[in-house]
Each structure stands twice: as C-alpha cells, then as structure tokens.
Structure 1
C-alpha cells in the first residue's frame, strides 16, 4: 500500500518542539509536507484570514496566518495532493467540548474535514505538570510515536469512511500508557471578575481627580473572563494536584477521565453537524407557521 501523503501543521508555530517530534516520527511511515504558522496561533480555532504570506521552509512552508489558513492553502492552493492532515503536537491537552471547540490544533483538523480530508489532531500533557510549558523543557517523543502508530494503522482500514477527525491527547511522561476510545466531555464554567486598577481613585467610585463621578459620562468597566474547565481550578492552573477527590466526576469513557488516569485519549469526531430531531421544536415550528398564515 502506498504511504499516505500528509500535510502536517500545528498552532504553536513551526519552530515549536512538538511539531519537530511529530515530523520526525511521521516521516518513517508517510510522505510529509509541513505547512505551519510562522508564530504561535494558540486558541485561534478555525479563524481564517483573507490573505496570508508564505515563506519557504526546509520542511515545506511557514505561513503568516492561522492553522486553518495553513490547511486551506495546503489543500486548495499548493501543488501537492494530500491524503490526510495531522495537526500538533500541541504543548497542552485539548479536551472537553468547549476547549476542543476553540483549539487551533483541533481547528486545523476541522478545516481539513470540511475540505474533504480526514485529520488527526495531537496534543500532549504531563501527568503531574499538566501543561507542557515551556515546550523546550519536555520530550514529545511519546505522543509522536502514538500519532505515528495511529496513522499507520488507521490508514490500513476504513476508519475515515465514518470518522472525520481523531482528537488525540497523550502523556509525555508515561512509559507505556493505556489507550482508550473516549467521548469529548461537556463540562465547563466561566467566572467574571472585576479588574481593579491599584491607586486609581476611580476604582473606589470617585472620579480620576478625586471628585464625584459625572453621571452624564459613560464609564468603562474592565472585567476578566476566567475559564473554569476543571471543578477545583480557575483559569489555566494545573488540575492534577488533588484531582483524586474529583476523579469519579468524570465518566470512565470521557477524555478528561483518560487524562486523569494517565492514558492516551482518542476521540473520534464527526463534523457533519447532524440534524437534531425534537418534538418540542416541531410543535414550535408548526405554531409559528400557522401564525404566519393567519
């Protein structure tokens, strides 16, 4: 069987250690061309730009744009033909419905699937540190080997006839991790905090010159939007310390539970946005339709 032709991209930038490790492993089983962002584009999701700038790179191209831009150019504007897109290795896990939805690493895979090409998104985590920051301090070989094995074996099957995207999270520090199929868990909260500027009289209700506020003026309010993606952690802190008391919160087949257990999480996803049939909405539509004809 012919080796797959792979477009490799990421969202941490073409100089990140994660993509280097993945490039090194994938080359042993695939024909790999890298088209990756010139700089870090984390959290960009499927954001696209109207115009981008390309520069040659020894592996392919570095592109001044987003991961989705890289995929769009590679699949629609380059001379090469690709059988699959692989995105990663991200230096932090991408798990949970909300985070997956805004991840640049996963966003590249989603863009690929809409353009008719199957994809694998690969992210890494550390079983104690959680985030692999800075990337240069970690060895991404283990997640890269997992990705290579998955690509090699999936390519010999009909998996991508039914699956658009495999979202993979793998530990960098577990020698022989178990691997499990997982569901992307929807579990997320958001908190909002007022930002108080120190030594600013206006922060205590007065005007900047110490006098009363002028109610006729529009006053700005600065707030901080803080993610709470784990029950005992606010923001992007490390959720692993003390996680044992929250372990049972996460179903055994969920991506979050796999990470808690130090396993490799593989979530098969579809981008079809399938029709959801609900009698309640049927009744609403019938009622509105009737009112429009009266």
Structure 2
C-alpha cells in the first residue's frame, strides 16, 4: 500500500464521530456576535443558544439579520466580534469535514449546474460520512429522507426539471439524509404550498422529538407559533426576545419590530398565538363590499 493509501486509512480510523447530545443540551451558541456588511452592522451584540430536542424559529422583518445569524451558528460565517460554539468547541476550531458531521445547512436557494437525478442530489447529503462506520446507513438515510419529504415518486427526474417547490423539498431531503444532530434551515417553507409547509414543519418537529436541534428561519409567524418550541425575534442587530411563542409574541413587541400594528389572540381550539395585522373597521368593510 502506498503512502497515500496509508494516510487515507489512518484518517478514516482516527476521525472523531459526533456523540448524541442529551436533550436540552446546548449544541450551538452565539454570544455578542457582530457582523458588518458594507458599512452596516447587520448583527451587533447578537446572542442565542440552540438546544437539542428543540425547534428554534428565527423571525423578524426583512433585512433584520436572520439568515446572517443562521450562517454564524452554522460556522459558515466568521463574525468580526463575539464567540460562536458548535458541539462545545469554538466554531473556527472545526475543519469543514468535521462540521459537516455535526450540522446540516439548508440555504434559501438550491441550484445545481448539472442535471443530477433527484435521488443522487439527496445522496449528496451522505458525503460527509464516506469512509466512516456510518456509511452503512447511506441507503436507509436516503430512502427515509425522500419518503419524509414526499419526493420518492420523482427520484429519477433531473433536479433541473423540477418546480421551485419540488426543488425545495429535494434540498430538504438532502439535509435530512445527512443525519446531523444540528439542522439549520433558511426559509424552508418559502416556495411551498400550504400542505407542504405543514409537512416541512412536521418533519422539523419529528427531528426535534428524536433529539436533534433544529433552527429554522421563518417569515410566517403563524407557522413559528404552531411548530416552534422557542422563537428568537431578530431586530436592531440583536435578538430582541427569546422564549416560547406564547411568551414572546406580544402585540407591543411585534408591532414595534415589524413597524405594523398587529393583534395577537389565542386560537379558539389550540390556544396557539395567532398574529394578524390590525385593520380598522372601515378597511374591512370596504374589502367586503368589493369582492375580487
């Protein structure tokens, strides 16, 4: 065996695989994070913890820094100041292959230059485990992820031939197939219809119930209230509020953050907070008199 082969075997045998985090344990955290883009501090003093067994939704207005904070928590973006820890270690201390074993990231857009079949795109999520003992899980992980996202029926179709919503579900399947203990999803419901929005958030809840930590950027406050254990309201360069939706989604805070008066009331059956824009009676009556 040549030197290259010996080195490959050595690396495979000594590669440290991640341990399963205990439920409630902090698996990622940002503290005092500052990120500057151009001359603007997108984040300035932002901090939040991500815990195993929970769905954490990041919400806030456009441009607040939700996606930036997600990238920081993923270790993909190094802040100008502050600290970021993943798996109990500074994010910058992990190599890219080591990070890929510990966290999976779904970006806002999923583009591929070549017309790979859907099944192969999902299988790409297994790449970090090549050469490890968990490589034996590849087939089961791919099949399970495709079933969960309802993309198995077009497994042989080229990714480039899919609709935007179908691509979004395939991209999520790739992330699920990775089987990392920390999932970071950037607006996974943006291109989806009502049914598939619910499907994606149910999958997030299932992963959290199995012990994973899930962070999801959402614009729909109703989805966040219904499916998240905690919400972090990103505003003014930091996290303006962090806690259970029922405790965080207050009319004063949301009206101020979104610069739009809102009303918050419990759903009559579930008690989950419902957030709607405050509209005066004249506007409502005018809409009723002029149907589409």
**Higher relative contact order, structure no. (Cα contacts within 8 Å, ≥ 6 residues apart):** 2
- Shorter-chain TM-score range: under 0.3
Greater Rg, structure 1 or structure 2? 1
TM-score normalized with structure 1 length: 0.20
